[in-house]
Amino acid sequence: MARLENIRIDEGGVSCTIIDQTRLPRELVHRTLSTPEEFFDAIATLAVRGAPCIGKTAAFAMSCFARQAALEGCSLEETRDRLYDQADYLQSSRPTAVNLAYELDCAREICGQPAQDAWQLAQHLCDYAHHIEDNEEIIYGSIARFGLSLLNPGATILTHCNAGPLGCGWPGTALGPAILGAAEGKPIKVYADETRPLLQGARLTTFELSQAGVDVTLICDNMVAAVMAQGKIDAVMVGADRIAANGDTANKIGTFGVAVLANHFDVPFYVLAPKSTIDIACATGEDIPIEERSGDEIKTMWYEQPMAPEEVRCYNPAFDVTDAKLISAIITEDGVAYPPFEDSLRKVVCS
């Protein structure tokens, strides 16, 4: 199967081409981003989405902005000032996924390092962008391998939202074990929640898994209890947007409910994410900022006519926090971390 590149830096280094994830699965549309406003809009509207992909987009954007400044003849100091402002601006596009802040902090650190001129600074940021790209398959391949080792041959997992190659890198985090299993002749079946309101499960997870030859079944979010009660699910695998020091995990809204149900039915609940998703500065899930989005995503977005009275109030948090005590293990590129997560995650972050 041809691999889709979620984002790449164009020749010349001043713009990026993304796959517009809002248009999938009906059409494969590429978009070019070059201005800070275009990058901000692509992140805020979920044209690029998924925690690791948002971070990567920000890092690629910083590389483009630095080269633009060098081409305009900016001095090193002017370039640095501009880049710090642009980093702050991009960081305000979405609050929950720590990967955005993480990659922008790395870019700020690179900006602060010695450089001869704007060109050299641009080269350092470009090298860092390529470093992310070059390491992706090593990181996600390793997460997938550790995840697959937790599943019995022929197992069926349930997943929520989309944590596949489009939102991460090949073969994804939560979808990695199933995609790797299909590639190696050890098939894993997947139930995919549709994931209201933006339907990342229906639109993206089923698309990516079908393309990879994985046996996938789509269900509505409110069917999870029934499907688990029927004994169809051996394990839950989800991604993460931010993992607190105690293991509390923010992921797409609805994940917490799935974890409660998994606990009720004695189904193991696994979180799969790169180490950069662990935010030791957040002691617990209470410290994680939760993005709230427009009620139009619930009322009107997918319908020809509004599906609720126009004046009705909506509450649309994009993420929830799963209590660490509901999580069986957290899988990173370094291996499988078990409770108590205060200890096991600290070891992962310090390694």
Distance in angstroms (rounded) separating the CA atoms of residues 4 and 211 = 10
Which residues make beta-bridge pairs with 17? 8, 32
> Shortest approach of ligand MRU to residue 51 CB, angstroms?
4
Q: Is 117 a catalytic residue?
A: no
Taking the C-alpha atoms of residue 289 and residue 311, their distance in angstroms, rounded to an integer, is 28
55 binds ligand MRU (CB under 6 A): no
Task: Please say which residue, 19 or 168, places its beta carbon nearer to ligand MRU.
Answer: 168
Closest distance to ligand MRU from the beta carbon of 46 (Å):
6
- Angstrom distance (rounded) from CA 222 to CA 332: 29
Write the DSSP symbol of residue 13: S
By CB under 6 A, which span of 24-32, 49-57, 69-77, 209-217 interacts with ligand MRU? 49-57
Specify the amino acid at residue 99. Answer: N
Among 98, 111, 168, 216, binds ligand MRU (CB under 6 A): 168
13/50 with CB nearer ligand MRU = 50
SS3 per residue for 64-106: HHHHHHHHCCCCHHHHHHHHHHHHHHHHCCCCCCHHHHHHHHH
Name residues contacting ligand MRU, limited to 278-337 (CB under 6 A): 318
Stretch that binds ligand MRU, among 23-31, 56-64, 73-81, 159-167 (CB under 6 A): 159-167
Residue nearest to ligand MRU (CB): 239
Nearest CA to 186 out of 131, 233, 145, 237 is that of: 145
Smallest separation (angstroms) from ligand MRU to the CB of 318: 5
Please give the structure tokens belonging to residue 212.
Answer: 């990879």
Strands 269-272, 156-159: pairing is: unpaired
The least distance separating ligand MRU from the CB of residue 330, rounded to whole angstroms, comes to 13
**Per annotation, catalytic residue among 193, 221, 241, 248:** 241
- 44-77: buried (b, 16+ CB within 10 Å) or exposed (e) per residue? bebbbbbbbbbbbbbbbbbbbbbbbbbeeebebe
Among 223, 212, 162, residue whose Cα is nearest residue 189: 212
Beta carbons of 299 and 307 less than 8 angstroms apart: yes
Looking only at residues 222 through 251 of this chain, which bind ligand MRU when binding is defined by CB under 6 A? 239-241, 251
* Residue whose C-alpha is closest to residue 158's, from 99, 212, 213, 209: 209
Q: Which is nearer to ligand MRU, 53 or 125 (CB)?
A: 53
Residue 259 lies near ligand MRU (rule: CB under 6 A): no
Among 56, 67, 189, 252, binds ligand MRU (CB under 6 A): 252
Cβ closer to ligand MRU: 70 or 282? 282
Of 44-52, 56-64, 227-235, 325-333, which segment contacts ligand MRU by CB under 6 A?
44-52
Which spans of this chain sit near ligand MRU (rule: CB under 6 A)? 46, 49-52, 97, 161, 163, 167-168, 173, 200, 239-241, 251-252, 318
Q: Active-site positions? A: 241
